[in-house]
Each structure stands twice: as structure tokens, then as C-alpha cells.
Amino acid sequence: MSELRDLYQEMVLEHARSPRNHREMPPPCHHAAGHNPLCGDKLDVYVKLDASGQRIEDVSFRGQGCAISQASASLMTETLKGKSLPEALKLGDAVHQLMTQDDAEADGLGKLVIFQGVRAFPMRVKCATLAWHTLRAALGNEPSTEPIVSTE
Amino acid sequence: MSTCTTQTAASGRRLDPLLLRAEFPILEQMVHGHPLVYLDNAATTQKPRTVLEALERYYERDNANVHRGVHLLSQRATDAFEAARRKVARFVNASPQEIVFTRGTTEAVNLVAQSFGLQHVQRGDAVLVSHMEHHSNIVPWQLLCERVGAKLLVIPIDDRGVLELDALDRLLSPRVKLLGLVHASNALGTLNPVAEVIRRAHAHGIPVLLDGAQALPHAKVDVKALDVDFYACSAHKVYGPTGIGALYAKKQHLQAMPPWQGGGDMILSVSFAGSKWNEVPFKFEAGTPDIAGAIGFGAALDWVDSVGLGAIAAHEAELLAYATERVRELPHVRLIGTAPEKVGVLSFVFDDVHPHDVGTILDQQGVAVRTGHHCAQPVMERYGVPATVRASFAAYNTRADVDALVDGLRAVREMFRV
């Protein structure tokens, strides 16, 4: 049960219960709809860049899903505000590695380090990465199966 | 071999699940430090030793291709394969010529859609299904309808998960060229009044396909008494191997239907000018089939016969009643699927914990359930939930399994402190 406790840490449960930045963002913003067809989780991620177009001014999400996917999206939005685009994408990669690789570097991840607990539950990695994949799609850095809506 | 212990007037025979469990080697294992409690039987059942031995014996002694060689092994393989076909036929009260082996229920439905469907459904026509179908009895018809320009119509269900027969009557029309209905719902457990539906559809001259994947292991299927046109089923839901199933179709349908896949074994003669199709059911079995799988299917049905389908159904009904009562005691739980006639499927949601979190926490306690949309997204949408937790019962489950499930659910509530 200790692995379970690592997965469902208090912070995860708290964010799942009261997700931060859980709101739709009016255009103009980057937006993508993420969907995990296996479990039916759906997530919309909205990103507003600053005037330079290189830094995240605001980021929010809407959606439904398990505690892991909701907490991951909530903590992602909390972490990303003010980050540059390369920093944001690097963080996404680091979180993914944290959840899938035993020797992953946890430095610089801040609160996101709690998702290390997902490593013992390979079936749940997709839940935790859905928000990050959707963010990537929203920023238009890789093709998404969902239409990428950008009105900027 | 019979493992039944006592006789009762109600069910004819009573089974002892503890004795049956000993025949399933997989159930002996520990999962995450707990004895395995397998409650995902609607996804697939475990296999008794007799089925495993039938597969092993076939590959150790008889393996050869069927309907081809003149050598002894080919004859043995063919005999065993055709004996399996007769077992399936007997199990559903059909003639062996009316049983086509397929990869499973899904392929059986696709076969009907692509052969019978393309032959009979035209632009402006309609195919009728219910709101509680598995995707496998929706998508093949959507593909057909898109291809020919026909419409897919849906029979609604009520809040309990019961088919609305009045609405069915309104939907039956000369435009409808086929009705596809699940015999027992995998997501809700509802056992549909199929005889009545078939009677009403036939009154309009509409042929009926039943998706029997979930019903075959729990309810007596008599295709003759039902007068059903097509019945699709899978071996792995009824203690047999994966990758093999069967389509029952009335002989006159099979004879009139065009083949859907071409290849070896489905032809009488081939020349570049044209080919002659083999007789039924071989016309629909192109290529080397899953011979071992079919033999395993037959062995599984033998096993069910030895225990008694009535005894299995009575046992599962008892477990379902017990589990329903116990799960209802938990706070914040909502049952999805409360039809009066059900197979052993208990689907539910907590109003404050997502099914996937429930599934992970149960798994850590050795309890295997299904969480998700159960390949029945329209059902989830009907009840306004993204997914459910589903416990489903088989002959080898016990009240102790139900208790383990309920203990696990209490641990979920503790973990989430709700």
C-alpha cells in the first residue's frame, strides 16, 4: 500500500479535489483538446503567450478525468506561468522521464516531483501525461489528432 | 466430469465454487501480495485445466492443417475441428452447417454487415440497434451505412437500462433491413427480452442479429426456439481461448449470402476465369482457421455442460444479488444498470472518485475489475458518466470475492478520505 500512498499523495488528492486554473480561456489563445481514448479522459488546455510570443502569460484547463490526470493538469498550469516556451517543453519531457525512467533527474521540477509515484503504475502514465501532451499540441509543436485552434 | 455437489429443486444442480476454483490454475496466484480476486469476467473468463489440456494435446499430437491432407494427422485435426463445430452447434441448438468459426463476436458481426448487409441494405434504408450496444455492434453497421447511404437508428433505453419496447414498435418500418441487438449488455448487465424483440421484428419481416458475447456463458441460448437469424459469440467469454468465436446464421441466409473474404478452403474450384464457392459454412472460412482455438472452444463448452449452465446462472445470480446489496451499503455509490433481468455484471460509479483511481486501488489489493467505458461509450453518455467500475462474475467466484471487493472499495474511500 505504500506505493499507493506515493501515487495518491496528499498534494495530488488536494489538486484533484480543487484543481487550479480550471477554466476555459476566451480567445485569443492557443488551445488543443486532448483525449485518452483508452479511458475516456478529456482535457482542453488553453495557453496565452505574452507580447513577445515566447513566454507563457496564462495557462488553464478544463476537463474531466481521474485524480492523477486532474492533479497533473492543475500542477502543470501552476508551474508554467511565466515560463518560456523552451522551458515549458523541457519541463514536459522531464516529467515524462520522471514517470518512466528509474534514473530520471528530479532537479528543477519543484512540486512536479510528486509524479515520481506514477512510475510504479505504468498503466497510469497516460493519465499523468495527457495534460502535457495537450499542452504540446496547443503550442503547435507537434501534430495532434485534435485540431489545433490558434487565433493569435 | 461433474463438480456439482448437491441437488436443489430451484436450479436443478448447485455448484461449489471452491471445487471449481481448483480447476483454474491461474486463480491460485498472488497479486501485489494478495490472493487474486478475479472479477473481470465480462472482459474475459479464465480457462479451466480441461481447456488448457485440449490445446496442449492438439499441438502435441494432432497438429496439421484441416480439410486438406490425406495423412493421419490432418484427418485427426479435421475430425477434432469439426467435432468442435458440432459442440458449438449443439450448445445453441443449431445444425453444424449453420456455425461459421470466426475470430470472435466482433468478426461475426462484421461478417454479417459486410456480406448480408451489403446485399440487403441500400441507400435510404436503415439498420436498427439499441442504445446499450457494445461498439462491436455499432461500428460495423456505421461502416455499412456510410458505404451504402443508409441510416443507423437507435432503440432507446430507460434509466434502469431496460430496452424501451414501445419505442421499438415505432421504429420498426419497411425501411429497416436489419435489427442488431445485444443479448446481454456488457456495461449494464441487462438481459434483453430477445424472443419478444425477434417476434416483433419478424412481424415486419426484419431479420435480427443478436450479439451473444455476454449471454452465452450465463443464459441458455436456443437459436431455433428464438428463431433468430444471426447469433454472434466468442469462446473466451465462456471459459475458452481468445481469438475464436462463432457466427450462427440460418442456413438459407448463409447459402444466399456472398462470401466476405476470399482465399483457400472457401472455394470448390479456382480458375482465372472465376471461382466456385465451397458449401456452407466453409464458404465463410477463408484461410487456415484457428484450429486449436476451435478445439479449445469445444472443450470449454464441454466444461460448461459438465457443471451445468443452469447451476452457473443460479450461482451468478446469487452473487450478483449479494454484491448489489453490499455495494449499495457504501456511501456515494450509484449503480449503473438496474434492470430486473440481469447477468452477473455490477457496474457502478462513486460520485466523487473516478473509476480509474478505484481500479488502481482495488488492483493493489488483488482485486481485478474493469474500469472504463467498456467499449460502450453511448451507454456512458446515456448515464452522464465518463466511465464505470465493473465487477463481473463467473462460476468460480465466491461470496468471499465480493467481500474482498467491498473491503477494497472501503479502502478507496479511506485513501480519498471522502
Instruction: Please tell us whether the domain made up of A2-150 is placed in CATH 3.30.1490.190.
Output: no
Residue whose grid cell is 469476467: B41
Q: Please tell me which of the candidates B364, B372, B416 has its beta carbon nearest to residue A39.
A: B372
Condensed to tens digits (0 to 9), the pLDDT of residues B19-62 reads 999 999 999 999 999 999 999 999 999 999 999 999 999 999 99
What does the pLDDT read at residue B6?
36
Q: Please tell me which of the candidates B360, B371, B372 has its beta carbon nearest to residue A121.
A: B360
Chain A residues in contact with B364 (beta carbon < 8 A): 1, 3-4
The predicted model gives A63-91 an average pLDDT of 95
Residue whose grid cell is 462513486: B350
**A4, A38, A72, A119: best to mutate for the B interface, most B CBs within 10 A:** A4
Chain B residues in contact with A41 (beta carbon < 8 A): 386
Minimum Cα–Cα distance from A1: chain B residue: B364
What does the pLDDT read at residue B271?
87
Asked if the C-beta of A64 comes within 8 angstroms of chain B's C-beta atoms, the answer is yes
What does the pLDDT read at residue A115?
95
Q: Please tell me which of the candidates A42, A67, A121 has its beta carbon nearest to residue B354.
A: A67
Chains A, B: CB contacts under 8 A, how many? Answer: 47
Q: What are phi and psi of A114, to 5 degrees?
A: -65, -20
Spatial distance between the Cα atoms of B222 and A129, rounded to a whole number of angstroms: 48
Q: Which residue in B4, B145, B233, B375 is the catalytic one? A: B375
Asked if the C-beta of A11 comes within 8 angstroms of chain B's C-beta atoms, the answer is no
Chain B residues with CB under 8 Å of a chain A CB are 353-357, 360-361, 364, 371-373, 377, 380, 386-387, 415-417
Condensed to tens digits (0 to 9), the pLDDT of residues A84-128 reads 999 999 999 999 999 999 888 888 899 999 999 999 999 899 999
Cβ contact (<8 Å) for A13 and B417?
yes
Here the ipTM equals 0.84
Minimum Cα–Cα distance from A123: chain B residue: B360
Q: Which CATH superfamily is domain B4-31+308-416 in?
A: Aspartate Aminotransferase, domain 1 (3.90.1150.10)
Asked if the C-beta of A3 comes within 8 angstroms of chain B's C-beta atoms, the answer is yes
Cβ contact (<8 Å) for A41 and B386?
yes
Chain A residues in contact with B373 (beta carbon < 8 A): 39-40
Minimum Cα–Cα distance from A16: chain B residue: B353
Minimum Cα–Cα distance from A12: chain B residue: B416
**A1, A18, A35, A130: best to mutate for the B interface, most B CBs within 10 A:** A1
Chain B residues in contact with A71 (beta carbon < 8 A): none
Asked if the C-beta of A67 comes within 8 angstroms of chain B's C-beta atoms, the answer is yes
What does the pLDDT read at residue B418?
57
- The alpha carbon of residue A9 is apart from the nearest alpha carbon of chain B, in Å, by 9
Q: If pLDDT is split at 50, 70 and 90, which confidence band does A151 have?
A: very low
pTM here? 0.92
Per residue, the 3-state secondary structure of chain B, as one string, reads CCCEEEEECCCEEEECHHHHHCCCHHHHCEECCEECEECECCCCCCCCHHHHHHHHHHHHHHCCCCCCCCCHHHHHHHHHHHHHHHHHHHHCCCCHHHEEEECCHHHHHHHHHHHHHHHHCCCCCEEEEECCCCHHHCHHHHHHHHHHCCEEEEECECCCCCECHHHHHHHCCCCEEEEEEECECCCCCEECCHHHHHHHHHHCCCCEEEECCCCCCCCCCCHHHHCCCEEEEECHHHCCCCCCEEEEECHHHHHHCCCCCCCCCCEEEEECCEEEECCCCHHHCCCCCCHHHHHHHHHHHHHHHHHCHHHHHHHHHHHHHHHHHHHHCCCCEEECCCCCCECCEEEEEECCCCHHHHHHHHHHCCEECEEECCCCHHHHHHHCCCCEEEEECCCCCCHHHHHHHHHHHHHHHHHHCC
What does the pLDDT read at residue A138?
93
Asked if the C-beta of A85 comes within 8 angstroms of chain B's C-beta atoms, the answer is no
Q: Domains of chain B: which residue ranges?
A: 4-31+308-416, 52-305
Q: Is the peptide bond before A143 cis (omega within 30 degrees of 0)?
A: no
Whether B233 is catalytic is: no
What does the pLDDT read at residue B10?
43
What does the pLDDT read at residue A2?
80
Cβ contact (<8 Å) for B416 and A8?
yes
Ranges of chain B with pLDDT below 50: 1-11
* B52-305 CATH fold: Aspartate Aminotransferase; domain 2 (3.40.640)
Pairing mode, strands B126-130 and B151-155: parallel
Minimum Cα–Cα distance from A41: chain B residue: B386
Q: Please tell me which of the candidates B356, B415, B416 has its beta carbon nearest to residue A39.
A: B356
- The alpha carbon of residue B373 is apart from the nearest alpha carbon of chain A, in Å, by 7
Asked if the C-beta of A106 comes within 8 angstroms of chain B's C-beta atoms, the answer is no
Condensed to tens digits (0 to 9), the pLDDT of residues B122-133 reads 999 999 999 999
